[in-house]
Chains A and B, each alone.
Chain A
Amino acid sequence: MDIVIIGLLLGGTYALMAMGLQLQYGVARIMNLANGEMLIAGAFGAFWFYAGTKVSPLVALLFVVPLAFGLNWAIYRVLIMPLVRRAKSQGKLDVDAILATFGLSFIFIGIMVAVFGAQYTDYAYLSEPIFIFGERYGLNRVVAFLGSAALCAALYLWLHKTRTGLALRAVSVNPSAAGLVSINVTRASALAFALGGAVTAAGGVLLSMYLTFDASYGVVFTLKALIIVILGGVGDIRGTIVAAFILGLAETAVASLIDPGLTLAAAYVLFMVVLLVRPEGLFGRRTA
């Protein structure tokens, strides 16, 4: 029971960060390996804000999210667009994007180390217990879960109820066909990329409430987000949410039953199984 609840709480926050990557890879088709660094940047933003003002990190979302949105928009416009124009095929674009965002992730790490230092960082916010079914849990985990759930729901509704959301989903299905029905694909991709970065940073703010992190920890989150996206199926929001919970549960189970040092191994086992059994993901469409 313990494992299930902690796993679900963790999965909820994972869902948010994976949703960010889903927007970037599923819609904008950019494999962004600097995604985890954006998350850590969000976490540092929250830390800096909380340490300075002692106001709830949830308020930090108000400035972290717009900042991350702007930054990712700029990254897409300045760094990614030339690669998209230069690329002859999706495969070539993937290679270029992977290398470029990889370089970008190092630059982010370098800057964060220079600003915040390389030590482990955490802060105590709402670290009081809350009782669910008679067991103790950290209140901060529950708050992070609720915040993440609210953002996920808002994002889901936005994608499914608004015209812009519809345009984004159309680009995700087929960019060239979306262009034919007069959707500005470049704009939609830039929007998806920027939004994805903002969502990921929001995930970082929420995670930072109960997680210890350091500047070079981002790559682990990049991997987890990627595994969730692949597990759930590229371009499928429902799948991402389900997969995030699966990963959260699997990690918590492995950490408490076998060894806390094996969380990445748990994620990798899931990854392996998906690749061997159902490479298109749980909800993905099988392509020819």
Chain B
Amino acid sequence: MSSIEKAPAVSAFGLRITTTEWRALLASVVIFVAAAFVPLVFGGYVLQVTISIVMYTAFATSWLLFSGPTNYIALSTAAFFGIGMYVTAAGIDLVPYPVLIIASGVAGAALAVVVGLATLRVSGVYFVIFSLGLAELVRQLMTWAQHVFGTMSGLYVTIDRSEPMYYWQLLLLTAVVYLVGWRIGRSRLGFALRIIGNDELVAVHCGINTARAKVVLFVISSTFASIIGALVAPRWGYVEPVVAFNPFLSFQVVIMALLGGTHRLWGPVLGVIPFTLLWELISIEFPDQTTLLLGVCFLLIVYVIPNGITGLIEDALQRRAKIGGSPRGALQHTFDVSTASVRSLLQRRKSNDA
């Protein structure tokens, strides 16, 4: 509480930003710049896996924007992703690609507004159920529409893009997701959402328009999923309902975010990296048992690490801090001990020399 007042704040973009935040921002910039060099160093399979990691980081982090603070488990990522893909595939021969990216976002946002207004005004369970079937619903409607209008069930998306280009596009989007998430986290809206997540009744009594806050965040979160769809569509080349609206995607995103931890913006990425690597291994070694193993992962996370990897890290830090006796904690303690021992070592050597 008091640390905010103590830390010298420098204002930028009309915000008061504390030193800790500047440091975090700087660290993030360094990480992103370093990540941007990956395609220059690696190619082939490594680059493919890295693209997956960046894509899922964007998915899981944007999922977290809504579901993290509110505890409303959204299982609708695949629906919005598919919509983004379809908008892109349908318009690729008609309008320039950048326009389509924006159009995908708008289409996703529009669907999210409708779904949000219908389901987010009542209890959270109904929202989860609705989002669970959303991808299947949109897929049915899409297949039916194609049937009625007599178009082919699949669509080709052909534009020339190299693998590194996809990587950079997705990385840029991930950076945007992080910035938006950080900005929301310190806004009134973000605060409102955290109150809703703790106790919705209290939030209502504080005068928060809970429905509005939830819908706004759900729309932001879903828009990102649609934009990812638009960015990835040309890489897949061929879009058809069964592939574009594969509900498996939604489950993977949820499990990655949960594995990483949903209380911190940097949580999902910690889940995405190990899970993507593990999943690569599983799909190669046990291609027939993927569903079973996904289920096992779900149960393990719920029962063994309910707060995710970030939860584990923070618990460990706190425990160490208690041992160290100071709030600065473990690192400081180790540092102090090691400097002391080095100093005594040097002194002993000096006295030996003398």
Chain B binding surface, main DSSP class:
helix
B137 at the interface (CB under 8 A from A): yes
Cross-chain contact A276 with B118 (CB below 8 angstroms): yes
Cross-chain contact A220 with B136 (CB below 8 angstroms): yes
Interface string of A99-136 (1 = CB under 8 A from B): 11011111111110110000000000000000000000
Would A110 and B297 be within 8 Å (CB), given that A100-B303, A262-B144, A268-B137 are in contact?
A: no
Complex: A228 Cα to B144 Cα, angstroms: 24
Q: Which A residues lie within 8 Å of B290 (CB)? A: 110
Q: Quick one: which of B124, B126, B199, B295 contacts A230, CB cutoff 8 A?
A: B126
Q: Which A residues lie within 8 Å of B341 (CB)? A: none
| A residues 214-244 in Cβ contact with B at 8 Å | 216, 219-220, 222-223, 226-227, 230
Cross-chain contact B125 with A261 (CB below 8 angstroms): no
Our count of residue pairs bridging A and B at CB distance below 8 angstroms stands at 120
Complex: A76 Cα to B303 Cα, angstroms: 14
Q: Which A residues lie within 8 Å of B299 (CB)? A: 79, 100, 103-104, 107
From B8-16, B127-135, B176-184, B228-236, the one touching the partner chain is B127-135
Q: Quick one: which of A96, A110, A111 contacts B302, CB cutoff 8 A?
A: A96
Q: Which A residues lie within 8 Å of B251 (CB)? A: 102, 106
| B residues 296-320 in Cβ contact with A at 8 Å | 296-299, 301-303, 306
Cross-chain contact A264 with B291 (CB below 8 angstroms): no
B71 at the interface (CB under 8 A from A): yes
Q: Which A residues lie within 8 Å of B297 (CB)? A: 103
Q: Which B residues lie within 8 Å of A107 (CB)? A: 292, 295-296, 299
Q: How large is the interface on A (under 10, 10 to 19, 20 to 34, 35 or more residues)?
A: 35 or more
CB distance from B63 to the nearest CB of A (A): 14
- B293 to A, closest residue via Cβ: A110
Q: Which B residues lie within 8 Å of A226 (CB)? A: 129
Cross-chain contact A95 with B122 (CB below 8 angstroms): no
Complex: A111 Cα to B291 Cα, angstroms: 9
Interface string of A186-229 (1 = CB under 8 A from B): 00000000000000000000000000000010011011001100
Q: Quick one: which of A96, A105, A223, A268 contacts B295, CB cutoff 8 A?
A: A105
B288 at the interface (CB under 8 A from A): yes
Q: Which residues of A contact B (CB under 8 A)?
A: 31, 33, 79, 82-83, 89, 91-92, 94-96, 98-100, 102-111, 113-114, 216, 219-220, 222-223, 226-227, 230, 259, 261-262, 264-265, 268, 271-272, 275-276, 279
